[in-house]
């Protein structure tokens, strides 16, 4: 099966091209999750352009400058600096200061993994700021700083305390691929398998490209995620160690959320961390795109009825299935891991399927324009304490038109749509939002239905229909 290596990130490419075509220098900051495709994005952008691309490494400044000198020597045809390379970043800036005077056409300089340079020399941002202000911002130069450490990029480049603050002309945080884009990496797989793969692996391109298209998703998981030595086996601890100063604390926080402790108080009690400090940890993980805060869609903006859930599918999968069996997997024992996977994988996919259905409604088939969409939950009036909560998978609203759509997603075959609709309408009755004047719509999603039926303001979508509309 053919696997496409680069998915056209149209918005990102268009952003870079717009900046490039402006009749003035640009200073762009590109950052985002490790392995999200930033480097490939930049390589696609500079194809056919005059550009110097330098990838910094976790070496001392002298070693990095020797590599950068080699790139500069090749670009400017200057063998002298290849023979006698620079040893300090300031020397490179002095060299470029003289060279930019002779640059007649737009030239782009890219420093990839910029935080590594800062680690080697804390003065790098100050030095760069000085030369940008005094020499580069009035030249034909375009500068792109790129980095995978979101925390470092936001503090060392974007943060108000950084010497570079206010110099950038634009920035872009590269996010993992959406489901719609991720499935283009394995276009000939059936739609159900694409949903399974995205649910377990998420939207990081390099993770998806590790999957062998000749194997089932479960076989791929065993080979590429759960096998000691495999690329993705230690990826979660590796990312946390690379990105965070206290990886063990964040690891525990993610583990507790994964285990079902989604309320702030429950997490606090489980970890024994004071509330203020916990809030900072949570904010950091939100910035990294690993967790997200959820409130019921009709709740007031400052509602305290908040849940915290794992946002990243791969982290969610790893903590749910790999981590609990880590000791056994270290010994090459797969029996309990595979038994857990077989028992719970469909339920696990169901959560991702909900989000895929919500995204689908945003882009395709709502009968009205959505103001916002998410989940809805609350108390059932007059019910016993054991059964006083209701939850609706999908709920989207338009404040102006007073329209609301209620949806249910079932990762199951032969779903009885009439029965699901009846339950959905009952739960909708508990939602107070503009109860007397709203217009209601309904949507039900499933792998397949037992039988179809037609009813005004009700839509049914099975995998076959979703596949057609997505493709």
Measured in whole angstroms, the distance separating CA 435 from the mean position of its chain's CA atoms is 36
Q: Last residue of some domain: 139, 174, 209?
A: 174
CA angle 58, 60, 66 (to 5 degrees): 100
> For residue 163, how many other CB atoms are within 10 A of its CB?
18
User: Is residue 317 domain-resident?
Assistant: yes
Do 77 and 142 belong to one domain? Answer: yes
Domain identity same for 93 and 115: yes
Specify if 412 maps to a domain. Answer: yes
Cβ atoms within 10 Å of 432's Cβ, excluding its own? 9
Query: Per the domain annotation, does 360 fall within a domain?
Result: no
Q: Is residue 192 part of a domain?
A: yes
Q: Are residues 284 and 398 in the same domain?
A: no
Whole-number Å distance between alpha carbons of 272 and 268: 6
Instruction: Flag whether 339 is in a domain.
Output: no
Q: At what angle do helices 247-258 and 235-243 cross, to 10 degrees?
A: 130
Separation of alpha carbons 58 and 36, rounded Å: 19
pLDDT-based confidence at residue 2 (cuts at 50, 70, 90): very low
**Does residue 326 contact residue 420 with C-beta atoms inside 8 Å?**
no
Residues 169 and 193 in one domain: no
CA distance 68 to 215: 42
CA–CA dist 83, 73 (Å, integer): 9
Look at residue 340 and tell me if it is in a domain.
no
What's the mean pLDDT in 320-324?
96
Whether residue 361 lies inside any domain: the answer is no
Confidence at 1, pLDDT banded by 50, 70, 90: very low
pLDDT value for 3: 41
Statement to judge: residues 196 and 158 lie in one domain: no
Pick the range with the lowest mean pLDDT from 77-81, 97-101, 364-368: 364-368
Is 150 found in the same domain as 115?
Answer: yes
CATH code, domain carrying 220: 1.10.10.10
Phi-psi region of 239 (alpha: psi -120 to 50; beta: other; left: phi over 0): alpha
Element (H, E) at 83: helix 79-83
380 part of a folded domain: yes
Picking from 394, 402, 393, 392, the residue whose alpha carbon sits closest to that of residue 369 is 402
What's 110-172 look like in SS3? EEECHHHHHHHCCCHHHHHHHHHHHHHCCCCEEEEEEECCHHHHHHHHHCCCCCCCCCCCEEE
Q: Which domain holds residue 284?
A: 180-296+304-328
Q: Identify the band that residue 8 occupies on the pLDDT scale cut at 50, 70 and 90.
A: low
My answer on whether 161 and 184 are in the same domain is no
60-68 average pLDDT score: 95
The verdict on 258 and 161 lying in the same domain is: no
Rounded distance between C-alpha atoms, residue 25 and residue 203, angstroms: 33
Confidence of residue 189 (pLDDT cuts 50, 70, 90): confident
Boundary residue ending a domain (152, 174, 196): 174
Q: Domain check: are 170 and 313 in the same one? A: no
Task: Point out the domain boundary residue: 137, 153, 174.
Answer: 174
How many domains does one find in the chain?
A: 3
Where residue 99 sits, what CATH number does that domain have?
3.40.50.300
The answer to pTM > 0.95 is: no
pLDDT reading at 150 higher than 60: yes
pLDDT, tens digit, 9 for 90 and up, residues 264-284: 999 999 999 888 889 999 999
What pLDDT is stored for residue 4 in this prediction? Answer: 47
Do 156 and 268 belong together in one domain?
no
| In a shared domain, residues 383 and 416 | yes
* 86, 164: one domain: yes
DSSP character at residue 178: P
Residue 362 DSSP one-character state: I
Q: Would you state the structure tokens that stand for residue 294, as one six-digit string?
A: 């959820």
């Amino acid at each position: 099966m053919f696997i496409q290596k680069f998915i056209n990130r149209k918005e990102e490419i268009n952003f870079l091209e717009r900046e490039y075509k402006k009749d003035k220098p640009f200073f762009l900051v590109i950052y985002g999750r490790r392995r999200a495709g930033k480097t490939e994005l930049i390589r696609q952008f500079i194809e056919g352009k005059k550009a110097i691309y330098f990838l910094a490494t976790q070496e001392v400044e002298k070693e990095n400058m020797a590599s950068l000198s080699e790139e500069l020597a090749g670009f400017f045809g200057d063998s002298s600096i290849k023979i006698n390379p620079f040893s300090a970043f300031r020397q490179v800036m002095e060299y470029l200061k003289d060279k930019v005077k002779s640059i007649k056409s737009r030239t782009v300089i890219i420093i990839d993994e910029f935080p590594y340079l800062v680690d080697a020399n804390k003065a790098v941002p100050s030095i760069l700021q000085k030369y940008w202000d005094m020499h580069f911002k009035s030249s034909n130069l375009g500068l792109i700083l790129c980095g995978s450490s979101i925390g470092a990029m936001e503090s060392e480049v974007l943060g108000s305390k950084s010497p570079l603050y206010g110099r950038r002309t634009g920035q872009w945080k590269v996010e993992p691929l959406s489901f719609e884009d991720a499935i283009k990496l394995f276009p000939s797989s059936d739609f159900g398998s694409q949903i399974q793969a995205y649910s377990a692996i998420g939207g990081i391109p390099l993770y998806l490209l590790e999957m062998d298209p000749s194997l089932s998703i479960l076989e791929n998981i065993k080979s590429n995620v759960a096998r000691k030595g495999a690329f993705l086996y230690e990826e979660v601890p590796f990312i946390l160690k690379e990105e965070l100063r206290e990886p063990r604390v964040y690891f525990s926080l993610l583990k507790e959320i994964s285990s079902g402790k989604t309320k702030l108080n429950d997490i606090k009690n489980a970890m024994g961390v004071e509330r203020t400090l916990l809030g900072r940890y949570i904010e950091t993980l939100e910035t990294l795109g690993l967790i997200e805060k959820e409130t019921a869609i009709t709740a007031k903006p400052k509602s305290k009825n908040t849940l915290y859930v794992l946002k990243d599918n791969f982290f969610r999968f790893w903590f749910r299935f790999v981590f609990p069996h880590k000791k056994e997997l270290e010994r090459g024992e797969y029996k309990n891991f595979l038994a857990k996977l077989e028992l719970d994988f469909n339920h696990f996919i169901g959560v991702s399927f909900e989000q895929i259905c919500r995204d689908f409604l945003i882009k395709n088939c709502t009968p009205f324009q959505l103001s916002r969409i998410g989940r809805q939950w609350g108390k059932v009036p007059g019910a016993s304490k054991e059964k006083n909560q209701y939850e609706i998978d999908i709920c989207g609203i338009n404040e102006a038109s007073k329209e609301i759509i209620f949806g249910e997603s079932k990762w199951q075959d032969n779903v009885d749509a009439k029965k699901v609709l009846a339950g959905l309408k009952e739960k909708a009755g508990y939602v107070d939002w503009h109860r007397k004047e709203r217009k209601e719509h309904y949507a039900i999603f499933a792998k397949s239905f037992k039988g179809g039926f037609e009813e005004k303001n009700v839509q049914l979508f099975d995998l076959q229909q979703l596949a057609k509309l997505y493709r």
